Structure 1
Amino acid sequence: MVSRQRVFNLLRTMNSLSCQCPAHGCRGNIQVSNATPVKDYAFEIKNSTVRYGLGVTREVGLDLVNFNAKNVCVMTDTNLMTLRPVQSVLDSLTKNGIKYEVYNKVRVEPTDSSFKEATEFAKRGKFDSFVAVGGGSVMDTCKAANLYYCDPDADFLDYVNAPVGRGKPVTVQLKPMIAIPTTSGTGSETTGASIFDYEELKAKTGISHSALRPLLAIIDPLHTMTMPEKVSNYSGFDVFCHALESFTAIPYNERSPAPPNPALRPAYQGSNPISDVWARFCLQTIQKYFARSVYNADDIEARSSMHLAGTMAGVGIGNAGVHLCHSLAYPIAGNVKTFVAQDYGDEPLVPHGLSVVMTAPAVFRFTAASDPDKHLEAAGLLGTDTTGKKQADAGAILADTIIKYMDTMNIENGLQKLGYAHEDIPDLVKGALPQQRLLKMTPLPQTEEDLSKMLEDSLVIY
């Protein structure tokens, strides 16, 4: 391979020999520096292999045969254990002679403790591959168990995102993982992110590295037919915010610092022309199918489309990233008091999709000044007529568009309905501040006062 220095020398030679006449003087004017730029200048698209189709789960056993798997860990939760998605997976494994053990104690909205419990199960089983069947909680737990199983001497905080943890890059080889989502929202089947509640801080954080990405994502729309209405609703708003946040994130060439080595380029790199394609697709799909998929559980076209949109949004956020809605959502979920979400069991819980959309109107009023045209475009993709609208009104227009969707989908009217009051705002801000990985993806700098105001404006929305 030609060395980097020889490439630089060749470019400089081309520059010196190019025609310098007025008609052609701009040609060959290539400026090359050996120094690493302050801001990044490139982006990468990394992704799991995605397989989509009605009934495609039947192939998972053959995939494991092709991986030469001998002992497989299947992870799911107790709610799914007796339902069709898990049974379809186990039938395929049995048919193809795959030895497996099932871990069905995944916690919805996992914690550091539940991650550790799943890891201990993996270590006892000595598995050579993993299959996750479920929503984001299952897939994130499986990623973490795979990581700490493959690096048994690691301290738990070694890989957790800074400043909560040490944020070490993953250098160990992980076992092959197949992700089979049963909800339409997290996109975890294509990302290198694994999110959990860090109990000591009462806030969410996570692990983020491309090595955690599943090797294969099997997207089977048949699994969405078992989703209850509220699960479909809240997970759909996760897709909604994934698309909006990745679309409006800081541009990749404005993010800093540039990595000294391409291997150190972070998973979340900023908005870019390729991730924007996925975001636009998702917003158009939401406009057409979101309400149908929630209120017509047997509408296979709508549920299939939202299931695909969830994966497409995962491709976008897995490379571009998310920002303020998710930063603020983590303490909203982590500090839950008494709110019990319908269709999510009897324990106090703020589902992830609900926590992210709570602040979305306030967030996009704030970020609109960074790129009014893009915010107007997003509103248009969601069905709002933006013809002749002023750039100065972009934030208000997008916020009003979001509120109309929240109203249509009967989303709780602000943080007060989730049990929060004005006096809780300082603690919510405190929980958001450690989310530096996400806060830095915001297209505008923000102060603690800015975060406080967005939360205050979200206490009552309608």
Structure 2
Amino acid sequence: MKGYSEFLMPNSVLYGQNSLTQLGKQVVAYGKKVLLISDRMMEKIGHVKKCEKILEDSDVSCISYLDVNTEPTDLHINEALNLCLREQCDVIVAIGGGSCIDAAKSVAVVATNGGYIGDYMGGKSPIKEQPIPLIAIPTTAGTGSEVTNVTVITNTTEDIKMMIKHPAFLPKVAIVDPILTISTPPSVTAATGIDALCHAIEAYISRLSQPLTENLALSAIEAILSHLRLAYGDGEDLGAREKMAIASMQAGLAFSNASVTLVHGMSRPIGALFHVPHGISNAMLLPAVLEFTKESAIDALATIGRVISPELKALKNEELADVTINEIKRLCCDLNIPNMNTWGIDENKFQQVVHKMATDAIASGSPANNPKVPSHQEIVDLYYYCYNYDFSISKNTIKS
């Protein structure tokens, strides 16, 4: 046992209302020609133009790549990379959800190290050179990608979501301005909010957790369960949006240093094969995976129960673990989270690929961090259980 822990985060984190105004000052500390990576929705609602204006006012040249979509692929990386190299950009700015930021991370690393982004999965190829400096600006409260050393990119040849983790993927600067999240529609608010909750819970129960990540995770869990419904119900509630933005960042810092577990391991194949948004695929799995894990994580789940329902702190740990799981199921109901069947995943296609999904989940490495490490067959059984999962709470369970 090494006896110490390491905690990584960006060089600078700027957060709070109007923090975006500091973008120009942050960019000029690293270079003078920016590749701005975003998507067409960010262009449509004006966030891209806002960034371009700030950069122009700071005497910074900018070229934009706006073709990232909800599930970034190796094709997007190649397109943006070619633009970056051709224009000789020395700084990358990403504005958008986790997809835009993950794409930017990948471009930043490959631009200086060469090759194909998949070469770096699992450490197959070493990352020897410093990446192009990246400034990440999230517009959703969910992925936490702005503060993590992880990128998730779909391999379009093999239909696999590649989860690649290395300190080089950590942005130099994160700018977390909750005003940018106001435009997020309710469905995306729900999906990204549940994603942040998954990050926090998985980081807390992970075999790789440490005191710093545990404190950040618990703080994020409490804030998300207190404010996600408010942000979902009223997108103009800036107070709730700010709490969610900070909680998402905390959860990102927690899981980046403690890793995710079984939920994310099982979620990625659903996204890769059926193109379900990442937050939704996480939500489809979270309660069932916690039920599977419960006996090996009773103390941790009980601690979460005390945080979210302090009035029930005198209950036994097993009962408090049920409080936690029930509250998450209740949240999923309130946010209208579907199961795989309700979403529209074809059952025949699902049955044909379920063993591949289990294989890909294990290959990601995340399930090995779960308190209860599942076998291949147990993951297959969980997928089947989740296909028609009922998020309602049984009359026989404890209610918080």
TM-score using structure 1 length: 0.80
**1:53 is the counterpart of 2:16:** yes
Partner of 1:416: 341
- How far apart are 1:410 and its partner, in Å? 1.2
- Alpha-carbon contact 2:302-2:318 (below 8 Å) kept: no
Shift of 1:45: 0.4
State, as a whole percentage, how many aligned pairs show the same letter: 27
Partner residue, 1:437: 365
The equivalent of 1:368 in structure 2 is 294
Contact 2:262 2:368 in 1 (8 A): no
Are 1:144 and 2:106 an aligned pair?
A: yes
Give the aligned partner of residue 246 of structure 2. Answer: 308
- 1:459 and 2:387 are equivalent in the alignment: yes
What are the within-5 Å matches in structure 2 for residues 281-430 of structure 1?
Answer: 281-336=219-274, 349-383=275-309, 386-393=312-319, 396-412=322-338, 414-420=339-345, 423=348, 424-425=350-351, 427-430=353-356
Asked if the contact 2:306/2:320 (under 8 Å) is kept, the reply is no
One-letter code of the match for 2:251?
A
Q: CA contact under 8 A between 1:243 and 1:283: conserved in structure 2?
A: yes
CA radius of gyration, larger in: 1
- Structure 1 residues 130 and 59, CA gap change in structure 2 (3 angstroms): same
SS at the partner of 1:80? helix
SS in 2 for 1:169: coil
Farther off after superposition, 82-91 or 307-316:
82-91
Tell me: CA distance 1:425–1:276, structure 2 relative to 1, closer, same or farther (3 Å). farther
Deviation, 1:70, is: 1.9
Q: Within the alignment, does 1:217 sit opposite 2:142 as a pair?
A: no
Per-residue CA deviation, residues 10-53 of structure 1 (Å, 9 max, x unaligned), is xxxxxxxxxxxxxxxxxxxxxxxxxxx5xx54321000121112
Q: Tell me the CA shift for residue 103 of structure 1.
A: 0.9
**2:27 corresponds to which residue?**
64
**Aligned ranges 1:237-252 → 2 under 5 Å:** 237-250=194-207
Conserved 8 A contact 2:305-2:321? no
Distance in 2 of aligned mates of 1:184 and 1:119: 27
Q: How far 1:117 sits from its partner (Å)?
A: 1.6
- Given that residues 193 and 208 in structure 1 are in contact (C-alpha distance below 8 angstroms), is that contact kept between their aligned partners in structure 2? yes
> Counting helix residues as a fraction of each chain, which structure ranks higher?
2
Q: Residues 379, 452 of structure 1: CA spacing in aligned structure 2 closer, same or farther, 3 A cutoff? A: farther
Where does structure 1 lack aligned partners over 5 or more consecutive residues?
A: 1-36, 251-269, 337-348
Name the CA distance, whole Å, in 2 between partners of 1:376 and 1:124: 54
Q: Please give the per-residue CA displacement for 1:196-255, whole angstroms capped at 9, x wherever unaligned.
A: 1222332312221011110000011110111111111110000110111111111xxxxx
Matched, 1:120 2:46: no
Contact 1:241 1:356 in 2 (8 A): yes
CA distance in 2, matches of 1:167, 1:295: 45
Give the Cα–Cα distance (whole angstroms) in 2 for the partners of residues 187 and 393 of structure 1: 31
Distance in 2 (alpha carbons) for counterparts of 1:335 and 1:398:
30
Q: Which amino acid aligns with 1:300?
A: L
Q: Is the 8 A contact 1:331 1:428 kept in 2?
A: no
Aligned partners of 1:389 and 1:454: how far apart in 2? 29
Q: For residue 399 of structure 1, report the CA deviation from its aligned partner.
A: 2.6
Contact 1:426 1:452 in 2 (8 A): no
SS at match of 2:136: strand
- Aligned-pair CA distance for 1:388: 4.4
Which moves more between the two structures, 237-246 or 203-212? 203-212
1:460 Cα deviation from its structure 2 partner: 2.2
- Name the SS of the counterpart of 1:160 in structure 2: helix
- Cα drift, residue 145 of structure 1: 0.8
Conserved in 2, the CA contact under 8 Å of 1:111 and 1:196?
A: yes
Question: In the alignment, is the contact (CA less than 8 A) between 1:159 and 1:170 conserved in 2?
Answer: yes
Could you give the per-residue CA deviations for residues 418-459 of structure 1, whole angstroms, max 9, x where no partner exists?
Answer: 233665256234224333421221122211121122212212
Q: Is the CA contact (8 Å cut-off) linking 2:159 and 2:273 kept in structure 1? A: yes
| Cα distance between partner residues in 2 of 1:329 and 1:244 | 15
Among residues 276, 299, 318, which one is paired with 2:214 in the alignment? 276
The answer to whether 1:206 aligns with 2:163 is yes
Task: Tell me the distance in 2 between the aligned counterparts of 1:80 and 1:118.
Answer: 16
Cα separation, 1, equivalents of 2:49 and 2:292 = 46
3-state SS, counterpart of residue 35 of structure 2:
strand
